[in-house]
Amino acid sequence: MKTTTLLIYLFIMASVTYLIRMAPLMLIRKKIENKFVRSFLYYIPYAVLAAMTVPAIFTATASVYSALAGFAVGVTFAFFDKPLIIVASFSCCAVYITEIILKLL
Amino acid sequence: MQNSFKKGIKDGIPIGLGYLSVSFAFGISATALGLPVWGSALMSLTNLTSAGQVAGLTLIAACAAFVEMVLTQLVINSRYFLMSVSLSQKLHSSVTPLQKLGIAFGITDEIFAVSMMQKGSLGAKYFYGLMLTPIIGWTSGTFLGAAAGEILPASIISALSIAIYGMFLAVIIPPARKSRAVLIVVAIAVALSCLLTYTPVLSLVPSGFAIMICAIVAASVGALLFPKEDEE
């Protein structure tokens, strides 16, 4: 990818993200009263993260099987409210171990 | 009014440390997708958001249209709009418009949460202190992860590539377990996302628009069926 193209992407990302954060701070005095809009914005992060994680997680590693293992471990640890870094670490371990097993088969 | 720069720094350190691991995971993924190390570091320095940056990575890797990038970033980062509205009320009247321009840059989930927990109104100095270590942590973590991604062996990279998704799981699953509304939103988003990835015709929808559609539909259903009461 050309450097200029990458820089344009980065510029777009940075500008849009910044404008979203800056506009209300500069322009809005009152709270958002509309219940639908408030609720919508509350649920958006969960919807976005969910949509981005599944099914992309299944192609994130070298093999679908190791990704599945990592996913299963991640979901389990997250289900038990384990800290961010624990969930991630154990998912990574699951992937690594699964790939070793696959190589031995 | 809470306006101690030192207290800001103190409150920001745990956030900055936490950001080191998430941004490291992001850096690994960024290099795996072909981004140069300087690109990943610059992205983190200028964006300060994990979800938006991961989505950005996907679009860059797919050479998405610039318009798609704009719209996707708008949807994914839309929650900062709400946080900014809340924060605008929390800031002390002495905060100048110029200072607000600087403060706006640091509105992340964690920084916002900590700032809202403070008693009384917030001054610019406190917020600047609060932002500092997270920005440093987020950028340097990315740099380290991106650089590591270029020298670590493939087996380790493969394992680490799942880290960022593991972290996303850690963010969405506990609330989904506690709240039926969040669970349903997550389920709808996942179902639509799979539909748009695997169904023959629908899989032609570019990834940015796909994420947007899934998120907007899922969040709208949530907002319609399970409106959220104002917590103040």
Per-residue pLDDT at A102 exceeds 90: yes
Structure token pair of residue A88:
């991630």
Determine contact: A104 vs chain B, CB below 8 A. Answer: no
Distance CA A96, CA A103 (A): 11
Determine contact: A1 vs chain B, CB below 8 A. Answer: yes
| Cis, bond preceding B97 (omega within 30 deg of 0) | no
Burial code (b: 16+ CB inside 10 Å, e: under 16) for B27-41 equals bbbbbbbebebebbb
- CB neighbour list of residue B144: distance below 8 Å, 6 or more residues apart: B20, B24, B27
Residue A1 DSSP one-character state: -
Phi, psi at B122, each rounded to 5°: -110, 140
Q: What residues of chain B, 163 to 222, have a C-beta less than 8 Å from chain A?
A: 163-177, 181-182, 185-186, 188-190, 192-194, 197-198, 210-211, 214-216, 218-220, 222
Determine contact: B56 vs chain A, CB below 8 A. Answer: yes
Classify the complex by whether its ipTM is higher than 0.85, answering yes or no.
yes
Distance CA B22, CA B152 (A): 18
Check residue A9 and give its pLDDT.
97
Check residue B230 and give its pLDDT.
67
Chain B residues touching A18 at Cβ < 8 A: 46, 104-105
Query: Which of B81, B85, B223 has its CB closest to that of A36?
Result: B223
* pLDDT confidence bin for A1, thresholds 50/70/90: confident
What is the nearest CA distance from B130 to chain A, expressed in angstroms?
A: 16
Question: Chains A, B: CB contacts under 8 A, how many?
Answer: 298
Among residues A62, A82, A44, A98, which one has the least CA distance to residue B167?
A: A82
Q: Which amino acid is at B147?
A: A
Rg (C-alpha) for chain A, rounded Å, is: 20
Per-residue pLDDT at A58 exceeds 90: yes
Query: Which of A23, A32, A60 has its CB closest to that of B161?
Result: A60
Per-residue pLDDT tens listing for chain B (232 residues): 888 999 999 999 989 998 998 999 999 999 999 999 999 999 999 999 999 999 999 999 999 999 999 999 999 998 898 889 889 888 888 899 999 999 999 999 889 989 988 888 899 999 999 999 999 999 999 999 999 999 999 889 899 989 989 989 998 999 999 999 999 999 999 999 999 999 988 888 888 888 889 999 999 999 999 998 766 4
Check residue A74 and give its pLDDT.
95
Distance CA A43, CA B208 (A): 18
Check residue A15 and give its pLDDT.
97
Q: Please say whether the beta carbons of B116 and B90 come within 8 A.
A: yes
Check residue A37 and give its pLDDT.
87
Chain B residues touching A90 at Cβ < 8 A: 166
Per-chain mean pLDDT for chain A: 91
Q: Do A47 and B218 touch (CB under 8 A)?
A: yes
Residue B137: helix, strand or coil by DSSP? helix
Q: Please say whether the beta carbons of B212 and A53 come within 8 A.
A: no
Check residue B205 and give its pLDDT.
85
Among residues B123, B68, B84, B53, which one has the least CA distance to residue A30?
A: B84
Determine contact: A59 vs chain B, CB below 8 A. Answer: no
Q: What residues of chain A, 8 to 27, have a C-beta less than 8 Å from chain B?
A: 8-10, 12-14, 16-18, 20-26
Q: Tens digits of per-residue pLDDT, A6-52?
A: 999 999 999 999 999 999 998 876 777 788 988 898 898 899 999 98
Determine contact: A43 vs chain B, CB below 8 A. Answer: yes
